[in-house]
Amino acid sequence: MQGLLESIIENNKDLVKEGKVASYIPLLGQGNPDHLGIAVTNLDGREYLAGDWEVKYTMQSISKVISLMLAIMDKGSRNVFSKVGMEPTGDGFNSIVNLEVKKLSKPYNPMINAGAIVISSLIEGATVEERIKRIVTFAQKITDNKSIRVNEEVYQSEQETGDRNRALAYFMKSNNILTGSVEESLEVYFKQCSIEVNSRDISRIGAMLANDGILPWTGERIISRETARIVKTIMVTCGMYDESGEFAVHIGIPAKSGVGGGIMAAVPRRMGIGVFGPSLDEKGNSIAGIKMLQELSKELDLSIF
């Protein structure tokens, strides 16, 4: 496995030149496009790490999986999915159009920004700080990494430039899709996106999901088998946004991307995978990350289909 991961890094080195590092959040624009990392956590707890696996990046949309799990634990899945749908969209992750044109009573799914902001509004806690702390603590527990925290600079950058998310949230508030304080829900959302991780952390999240909600290295149950099943299914249908279909055909693994350049993947009953490459395609997914997952899937026959 170690040799395979190292050759995957080597084979995809040239891909870092393709695509662009996200810059609509200005601080992400400072990301180094040459970084390429991969980590695998097997369900016996063994880990394999190669390339720039140790480089930290912000979770961005990968955090939507963390907040979805926590919201389901807090409110129950019936409640959560009465407020957010389960259907994929053929639109971009920050699309506004459907909310008005289709007169939706809830956003299509929890992986697009509109749905994720509603999910953030459901996380319990007496104060915004407490809600954010619960998300960070939950991420620390799943990754067995107590040093995980919010990158405050990225958070500031998101807060200052997040007008499109603000527009989505206020529109949803005007239609009673979102209730409570818009600014508080956005603060939770921006902060969860700014949680900083490395590829090993991400692969451990994938491993917990691959192991039906149980941490492979301690045997501790984190979420119910049912929640793990729901989350992995939504990752398959919506995790790569309007690239989810192509990703399912070529790679066939439940996965979630983030504009920080990471992709978290969970191969049921086999392994968790974290890949990192900050250059993105036009859909906001890591180009090298997708290719590395494709190579790994082919070599190890990982497609679930």
Which residues form the catalytic set? 61, 64, 189, 241, 259
CA distance 248 to 228: 18
For ligand DON, the closer CB: 60 or 199: 60
- Identify the CA nearest to 28 among candidates 280, 303, 203: 280
Shortest separation between residue 115's beta carbon and ligand DON, angstroms = 12
Distances (CA, A) of 154 to 60, 61, 158, 245, 280: 10, 14, 6, 30, 18
Q: 216 vs 278, which CB is nearer to ligand DON? A: 278
In the complex, what is the shortest distance from the CB of residue 163 to ligand DON, in angstroms, rounded to a whole number?
Answer: 11
User: CA-CA distances (angstroms) from residue 186 to 52, 81, 82, 117, 201?
Assistant: 31, 20, 20, 7, 24
Q: Name which of 140, 117, 116, 124 is nearest 222 in CA terms.
A: 140
Give the nearer residue to ligand DON in terms of CB position, either 41 or 58. 58
Residue 91 CB, shortest distance to ligand DON, in Å, is 13
3-state DSSP assignment of residue 271: strand
Closest separation in Å from C-beta 21 to ligand DON: 12
Pick the closer one to ligand DON by CB: 122 or 193: 193
Looking at the Cβ atoms of 214 and 292, the one nearer to ligand DON is 292
The residues of the shown chain that bind ligand DON, judged by CB under 6 A, are 60-61, 93-94, 113, 158, 165, 193, 257-259, 284-285
Closest CA to 208 of 274, 133, 258: 274
3-state DSSP percent of the chain in helix, strand and coil, to 5: 50, 15, 35
Q: Shortest Cβ distance from residue 265 to ligand DON (Å)?
A: 14
Please state, in angstroms and rounded to a whole number, the distance separating the CA atoms of residues 99 and 104. 5
Q: Rg (Cα) of the chain, in Å, rounded? A: 18
